[in-house]
């Protein structure tokens, strides 16, 4: 008789292979993500469900908010995000395998949360000789849960270490730096959570690692809200919305190059673009910030694909007028966020 751990692992492997099958667009695979999450939930010690508030157990760090284990577990349900991150990480590991076929690729998964959602499925399709993972989270409850899932599924050989630590003080092994650094510790517009600070801290120590996501960018666009949403069309699953947008400028980009360009900055202020607002009809358009996530290669999350890429209305002190020049910057610290100030440009 096949024991239950073996059959759970086999089910996980099967559903992971479906998630990785690029014949199927990510948006069509919600039931598969639900199935995957159910397998993870039913393996190992389960998070306490008696929390009064889903934010119970969150930690405010000096670099941003660490979501509670309950909220981190819920991130799996942002299913297109979950699939694109799993697909991108799979592709990065496959690339590392080609570069170093004689040893396993080492993946450092930062902020793994209680299900290690973006890694455990991949452990079911890569052997320990192909890929080994370090699972890291600031919350002990998350690491205890991830460890119990890994052990229940018989995947302990795929995990090099479990680390309960604030990633912004984590030191990678100098002799065996990670090949892939995987983390999704962000919200739309890179607000609140410490993705930027931790990316800087880790990439400095492992400059050759593949970074996942490879790039997060924020763009300013003028949007006509009356053409942006049509609930009837959305309900009918139709793709006929004729959006009316005027792209203005890229505002802030986090990738290997920009992180390296900030290496001598000690202050909490990282540079972003200075933008002159073009002439536009103020009654018709609204300035909005669009977040785009390049997970890896062709695995991309664009507007509305995920909670992480929902456009935000640009919040600005005072009013924004055509012709204004706005200077953006990214403020690090306990409440990281993109900020701006209007520059006074005197006419010649």
Ligand X SMILES: C[S@@+](CC[C@H](N)C(=O)[O-])C[C@H]1O[C@@H](n2cnc3c(N)ncnc32)[C@H](O)[C@@H]1O
Which contacts qualify for 77-82: CB closer than 8 Å, 24 or more apart? 77/33, 77/37, 78/306, 78/307, 78/308, 79/26, 79/29, 79/30, 79/33, 79/34, 80/26, 80/27, 80/301, 80/305, 80/306, 81/184, 81/301, 81/305, 81/306, 81/307, 81/308, 82/33, 82/117, 82/118
Integer CA distances (angstroms), 300 to 66, 82, 215, 239, 251, in order:
24, 12, 10, 19, 18
Q: Among residues 9, 26, 40, 76, which is the contact residue for ligand X, using CB under 6 A?
A: 76
Work out how close the CB of 184 gets to ligand X at its nearest, in angstroms, rounded to a whole number. 4
Contact call for residue 167 and ligand X (CB under 6 A):
yes
Work out how close the CB of 199 gets to ligand X at its nearest, in angstroms, rounded to a whole number. 11
Q: Among residues 95, 130, 151, 166, which is the contact residue for ligand X, using CB under 6 A?
A: 166
Q: Among residues 96, 123, 142, 275, which is the contact residue for ligand X, using CB under 6 A?
A: 142
With CB under 6 A as the rule, give the number of residues binding ligand X: 23
Within 180-285, strands assigned E span 180-183, 210-212, 215-223, 245-254, 269-276
Q: Which stretch binds ligand X (CB under 6 A): 59-67, 151-159, 247-255, 326-334?
A: 59-67
Work out how close the CB of 1 gets to ligand X at its nearest, in angstroms, rounded to a whole number. 33
Contact call for residue 185 and ligand X (CB under 6 A):
yes
Work out how close the CB of 91 gets to ligand X at its nearest, in angstroms, rounded to a whole number. 17
Contact call for residue 191 and ligand X (CB under 6 A):
no
Q: Among residues 19, 120, 138, 158, which is the contact residue for ligand X, using CB under 6 A?
A: 138
The tally of CA atoms less than 13 A away on the side-chain side of residue 325 is: 7
Q: Among residues 84, 141, 144, 184, which is the contact residue for ligand X, using CB under 6 A?
A: 184
Q: Which is nearer to ligand X, 85 or 252 (CB)?
A: 85
Who contacts 221 (Cβ-Cβ below 8 Å, separation ≥6)?
Answer: 245, 246, 247, 248, 287, 288, 289, 290, 311
Q: Show the binding pattern over residues 97-136: x = contacts ligand X (CB under 6 A), - = does not.
A: --------------xxx---xx-----------------x
Integer CA distances (angstroms), 97 to 16, 61, 93, 101, 117, in order:
19, 35, 6, 5, 22
Q: Are 228 and 290 in contact (CB under 8 A)?
A: no
Q: Which stretch binds ligand X (CB under 6 A): 41-49, 65-73, 217-225, 320-328?
A: 65-73
Q: Which is nearer to ligand X, 126 or 285 (CB)?
A: 126
Q: Which is nearer to ligand X, 9 or 76 (CB)?
A: 76
Contact call for residue 72 and ligand X (CB under 6 A):
yes
Q: Are 275 and 322 in contact (CB under 8 A)?
A: no
Q: Is the dihedral of CA 135, 140, 142, 147 positive or negative?
A: positive
Contact call for residue 8 and ligand X (CB under 6 A):
no
Q: Show the binding pattern over residues 205-244: x = contacts ligand X (CB under 6 A), - = does not.
A: ----------------------------------------
Q: Which residue is nearest to ligand X (CB)?
A: 111
**Residue 282, token pair as written in the block:** 């103020």
Phi and psi torsions of 291, nearest 5°: -100, 130
Q: Among residues 18, 41, 45, 168, which is the contact residue for ligand X, using CB under 6 A?
A: 168
Residues that bind ligand X (CB under 6 A): 61, 66-67, 72, 75-76, 111-113, 117-118, 136-139, 142, 166-168, 184-185, 194, 198
């Amino acid at each position: 008789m096949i024991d239950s751990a073996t059959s759970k692992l086999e089910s996980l492997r099967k559903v992971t292979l479906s998630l990785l099958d690029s014949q199927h667009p990510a948006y069509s695979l919600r039931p598969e993500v639900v199935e995957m999450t159910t397998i993870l939930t039913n393996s190992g010690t389960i998070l306490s469900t008696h929390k009064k508030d889903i934010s119970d157990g969150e930690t405010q760090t000096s670099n941003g908010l660490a979501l509670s284990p309950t909220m981190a577990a819920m991130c799996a349900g942002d299913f297109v995000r979950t699939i694109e991150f799993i697909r991108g990480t799979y592709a990065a590991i496959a690339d590392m395998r080609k570069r170093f076929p004689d040893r396993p690729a080492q993946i450092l998964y930062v902020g793994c949360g209680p299900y290690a959602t973006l890694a455990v499925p991949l452990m079911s399709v890569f052997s320990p000789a192909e890929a080994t993972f370090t699972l890291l989270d600031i919350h002990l409850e998350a690491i205890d849960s991830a460890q119990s899932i890994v052990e229940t599924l018989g995947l302990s050989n795929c995990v090099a270490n479990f680390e309960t630590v604030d990633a912004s003080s984590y030191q990678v092994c100098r002799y065996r730096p990670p090949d892939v650094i995987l983390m999704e510790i962000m919200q739309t517009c890179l607000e609140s959570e410490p993705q930027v600070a931790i990316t800087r801290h880790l990439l400095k120590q492992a400059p050759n690692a593949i970074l996942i996501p490879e790039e997060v960018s924020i763009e300013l666009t003028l949007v006509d809200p009356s053409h942006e949403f049509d609930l009837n069309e959305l309900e009918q699953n139709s793709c006929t919305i004729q959006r009316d947008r005027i792209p203005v400028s890229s505002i802030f980009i986090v990738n290997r190059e920009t992180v390296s360009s900030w290496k001598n900055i000690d202050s909490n202020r990282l540079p972003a673009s200075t933008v002159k607002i073009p002439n536009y009809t103020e009654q018709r358009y609204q300035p909005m910030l669009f977040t785009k996530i390049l997970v890896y290669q062709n695995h991309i999350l664009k507007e509305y694909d995920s909670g992480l890429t929902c456009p935000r209305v640009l919040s600005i002190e005072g009013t924004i007028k055509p012709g204004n020049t706005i200077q953006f910057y990214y403020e690090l610290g306990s409440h990281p966020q993109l900020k701006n100030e209007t520059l006074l440009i005197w006419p010649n």
